[in-house]
Amino acid sequence: MKSRADLKQAKCCVIKIGSAVLTDNGQGLNRQAINDWVEQISELKSRGIDVIIVSSGSVAEGMVRLGWKTRPHALHELQAAASVGQMGLIQAYEESFQSKGFKTAQVLLTHDDLANRTRYLNARATIKTLLSLSVVPIINENDVVANEELRVGDNDTLAAFIANLMSADLLMILTDQDGFFDADPRVDENATLLSEANVADKKLDFAASGGSGALGRGGMQTKLTAARIASRSGTATIIVPGLRERVVLDAIDGNNVGTLLIPNEMPLSARKRWLTAHLSIKGTLVLDDGAVKAIKKSGVSLLPIGVISVTGDFDRGELVACASADGKEFARGLVNYSSDDIKKIQQCKSTDIEACLGFVGESEVIHCDNLVLL
């Protein structure tokens, strides 16, 4: 996406809702705001747009329920507050979406879930299935079990990782600011709201504030970092004032609200760079001529029937090379099955996977979303 006009073409949107707008500045969950967002998201879904919510607020809601006025520093106290608050947070979303005829699903993740390739693919497959069932995934960091080594760090970053995970077209961050300013508006009365900017522009670093509110962990710097992470998969980011009327619909419709941070790479080139530069090849699949031709010409998924042989020892979710019968590598992708399992199902029909393995995970050896031509 290169401009606001392109936002109308979005097919998958990750919406991150921050504590400051969600919890009414610490006075408990803002039910009216939740209902307003749900009504707008329901409209997006009626347009055929997949929506994933990354919601803060579990710790803040837990603090309210426990009667705590300031955010604790001890990890076990944060985890206790998250555990208490998660109940009310999910209940609020469930009741509101239910009134609009939609089901919700709670998804709790840690950094380890997204760093591990097998868990990465499992999470992706589950979220894709939820979306196909018209269920709205409500995602939060699993604060209850995460320790300092596993914490994503803030939900801005988590939302960016989810945008990468799902190859989303847009990451929308709802915050208590009007958008991204060229200076901190809290200390500079001449600060100007930026309507659009390239996410890689170094000037944004000087404008970003490192501060954060009493209830949340993120400031504008984390939102810039999140936008740059999201851009790795070609995802645009828009930072908008969450409590503004119809802000979600206005943003999608391309109206001049908030700040649009435009990725500096197209989705395919960004994903190709990620697959080819940041992951190690663990093995090779040699394909028959039909599979090679279909993948090169039509960009289809790799089915087991097209695999001739397997070399290397690898697990589900790892990167492998795809080669033609003469040994020339032409593509790379993330496998849905281990090397041992692919050897059992090679040259078999997808309908025979369960008979060969005793289970079926995916019908493809490599899904086209995770397969990149070189």
Q: How far apart are CA 73 and CA 70, in angstroms?
A: 9
pLDDT at 279 over 90: no
Does any domain span residue 273?
no
**CATH code at 363?**
2.30.130.10
- Does residue 194 share a domain with residue 147? yes
Q: Are 271 and 167 in contact (CB under 8 A)?
A: yes
Q: Return mean pLDDT, the chain.
A: 87
**In degrees, to the nearest 5, what angle opens at C-alpha 245 toward C-alphas 240 and 250?**
60
> Among 215, 242, 267, which residue terminates a domain?
267
- Residue 369 CB-density burial (10 A; 0-12 exposed, 13-18 middle, 19+ buried): middle
- Res 213: pLDDT: 44
- Res 76: pLDDT: 85
> Average pLDDT in the 257-267 region?
85
- Does residue 208 share a domain with residue 251? yes
Q: Let me know how long the chain is.
A: 374
Does any domain span residue 259?
yes
How would residue 210 be classed by pLDDT, with cut points 50, 70 and 90? very low
- Does residue 38 share a domain with residue 127? yes
Q: Are 12 and 168 in contact (CB under 8 A)?
A: yes
Q: Are 320 and 332 in contact (CB under 8 A)?
A: yes
- Does residue 59 share a domain with residue 116? yes
Question: Which one is predicted more confidently, 59 or 286?
Answer: 286
- Res 33: pLDDT: 95
Q: What stretch of H or E contains 61?
A: helix 58-66
- Does residue 291 share a domain with residue 247? no
Q: Are 218 and 18 in contact (CB under 8 A)?
A: yes
Q: Which one-letter DSSP state was computed for residue 181?
A: B
- Does residue 223 share a domain with residue 106? yes
- Does residue 294 share a domain with residue 223? no
- Res 145: pLDDT: 66
Does any domain span residue 366?
yes
pLDDT at 212 over 50: no
Tokens standing for residue 359: 């289970």
**CATH code at 139?**
3.40.1160.10
pLDDT at 280 over 60: yes
How would residue 110 be classed by pLDDT, with cut points 50, 70 and 90? confident
pTM for the whole thing? 0.77
- Does residue 180 share a domain with residue 200? yes
Does any domain span residue 186?
yes
- Does residue 17 share a domain with residue 40? yes
How many angstroms separate the first and last alpha carbons of the chain?
A: 23
> Average pLDDT in the 63-78 region?
86
pLDDT at 105 over 60: yes
- Res 218: pLDDT: 46
Does any domain span residue 16?
yes
Q: Which domain holds residue 220?
A: 4-267
Q: 25-29, 311-315, 353-357: which has the minimum mean pLDDT? A: 25-29
pLDDT at 294 over 60: yes
Considering 185-194, 208-217, 271-280, 290-299, the range whose residues carry the highest mean pLDDT is 290-299
Q: Are 45 and 134 in contact (CB under 8 A)?
A: yes
- Does residue 333 share a domain with residue 313? yes
> Average pLDDT in the 294-319 region?
94
Considering 54-68, 116-130, 233-247, the range whose residues carry the highest mean pLDDT is 233-247
> Average pLDDT in the 256-263 region?
94
- Res 187: pLDDT: 77
> Among 236, 267, 298, which residue terminates a domain?
267
- Res 256: pLDDT: 92
Does any domain span residue 161?
yes
Q: 148-152, 182-186, 193-197, 329-333: which has the minimum mean pLDDT? A: 148-152
- Does residue 209 share a domain with residue 300? no
- Based on the structure, what is the number of domains in the chain? 2
> Among 267, 298, 331, which residue terminates a domain?
267
> Average pLDDT in the 335-349 region?
96
Q: 16-25, 28-37, 101-110: which has the minimum mean pLDDT? A: 16-25
pLDDT at 247 over 90: yes
Long-range contacts, stretch 65-72, CB < 8 angstroms, 24+ apart: 69/26, 70/214, 71/214, 71/215
pLDDT at 298 over 60: yes
Does any domain span residue 272?
no
- Res 32: pLDDT: 94
- Does residue 141 share a domain with residue 29? yes
Does any domain span residue 274?
no
- Res 23: pLDDT: 82
